[in-house]
Amino acid sequence: MTDLRGKRILVIGGAGLIGSHVVDELLTRDVGAVTIYDNFCRGTRGNLAGALRDPRAHIYEVGGDILQADILAAAMREADVVVHLAALWLLQCHEYPRAAFDVNVRGTFNVLEACRDAKIQRLVYSSSASVYGDAREIPMTEAHPFDNQTFYGATKIAGEAMATAFHHRYGLPVVGLRYMNVYGPRQDYKGAYIAVMMKILDRLGQGLPPVVYGDGSQSYDFVYVGDVARANVCALESDVPHGCYNVGTGIGTTIKAVTELLLELTGSDQPISYLPAGPTFVTHRIGSTEAAERDLGFTWRVPLREGLRRLIAWRESETRA
C-alpha cells in the first residue's frame, strides 16, 4: 500500500463534481498538500468552499488548463502524485469533437508527459464506462470489448492507451478508473448538460410531471460521487503498477425506478410523463466490482436511496442560497 502521509497531491480538474469530492476525501488523510489545478470551465470555486478552509488545500493560481503545457509542467513539479480528472463531458464531445480531441486526448498527453518529466510517483486517470458502449453481458468486467460509438468514449480509450504506453515506455505507475453513472451533490444543474436526475428534480420543483423517454427500462449502474472519490484515493494508495478498473456498484437500476424513487423522496404525487424514446448512447450498463475490490481495496458504501436523499438536500440548499 502506498503511504500518502506528507505527500503533495495535484488534483487536475479538482473543482468539478468528482474532483472536488476527491479533494475533500484526500483532506481526510494525513497528506502534506493538495493543489487544485482547474480552468473553471465546468468546476466552480463554490465546490471547493469547504476544502479551502483547510490550510493544506489551495488553488494553483497561475493557471489551470491542461492545454497550457508549460503551466501544467510547473504545477507538476510541486507534486508527488497526481489525480487527472479534467475532460470535456459526453455531450460536449458529441457536439464539439475537435474540442474533445484537444482537451481529452492532447490534454491528457500533456498530463502524461508532465508526469514523466516531473518523475511523478503515481497517476490516477479518470476514464469512463463509455469505453464499453452498450453491454454485451452483465455485469461488464474489465475484459468487456470496447464497443464505444461516441467521441467521448473514443477519447477515453485513447487516454487509457496512452497511459499504458507511458507505463511500459517510461515506467510511470498509472491506474485508470472507468466510472459508471456518477451522481451526487455538486452535480451541474444550471448548465446545458444536466444529468437525468437533475432534470427530473427541476420539473418536480416547477410542479411539472417528470419526463421519461421510452418505457424507462434503460438500466444503469448509479454510483454515488463520494464513493467515486474514495475509489480515486484507493487507487492512489494501492500498489498496482498499472491497470484499468470499473468504479460502480454492480447494481442496475432502471430510469423508471429512479424516477419513482425521486417522486417518493420528494413527496410528489406527479404522474410520470412517458414520451417517445429519442437517440441514446447506451441503454444498459452495469459494471462488475470484483477487480476494484481485489486490487484496489475499493468497495462502494452509499446505496441509491441514501445518495438521492443527499442530492435532494444539497439541491434544496443551493436553490435557497
Site of grid cell 479551502: 52
Give me 127's grid cell. 476514464
Domains of the chain, by residue range, sit at 8-183+222-249+287-301
Whole-number Å distance between alpha carbons of 130 and 157? 9
pLDDT in tens, 167-194: 999 999 999 999 999 999 999 765 544 5
* C-beta neighbour count of 294 within 10 angstroms: 11
Clarify whether 220 is annotated catalytic: no
* C-beta neighbour count of 267 within 10 angstroms: 7
**Residue 181, strand partner residues:** 222
Instruction: With beta carbons less than 8 A apart as the criterion, state whether 314 and 186 touch.
Output: yes
Q: Active site residue: 60, 152, 220, 224, which one?
A: 152
Give me 98's grid cell. 475537435
Instruction: With beta carbons less than 8 A apart as the criterion, state whether 130 and 281 touch.
Output: yes
CATH number of 8-183+222-249+287-301: 3.40.50.720
Flag whether pLDDT at 220 surpasses 80.
yes
Whole-number Å distance between alpha carbons of 124 and 8? 14
For residues 301 and 192, which has the higher predicted lDDT (pLDDT)?
301
Whole-number Å distance between alpha carbons of 310 and 249? 17
For residues 276 and 30, which has the higher predicted lDDT (pLDDT)?
30
301: closest CA among 175, 217, 184, 140?
A: 184
Instruction: With beta carbons less than 8 A apart as the criterion, state whether 99 and 149 touch.
Output: no
What pLDDT was estimated at residue 115?
A: 98
128: closest CA among 23, 238, 13, 228?
A: 228
Flag whether pLDDT at 166 surpasses 70.
yes
Whole-number Å distance between alpha carbons of 221 and 225? 12
Local confidence band at 90 (pLDDT 50, 70, 90 cut-offs) = confident
What pLDDT was estimated at residue 1?
A: 78
Give me 309's grid cell. 436523499
Helix, strand, or coil (residue 271): coil
Q: How much of the chain exceeds pLDDT 70, in percent? A: 97
Task: Give the mean pLDDT of 73-100.
Answer: 95
Whole-number Å distance between alpha carbons of 8 and 250? 33
Give me 130's grid cell. 463509455
Give me 232's grid cell. 480515486
Whole-number Å distance between alpha carbons of 131 and 209? 33
DSSP H helical ranges for 105-195: 107-117, 151-170
pLDDT in tens, 112-142: 999 999 999 999 999 999 999 988 999 999 9
Give me 146's grid cell. 470496447
**Residue 35, strand partner residues:** 10, 58
Flag whether pLDDT at 50 surpasses 50.
yes
Q: How far apart are the first and last CA of the chain?
A: 42
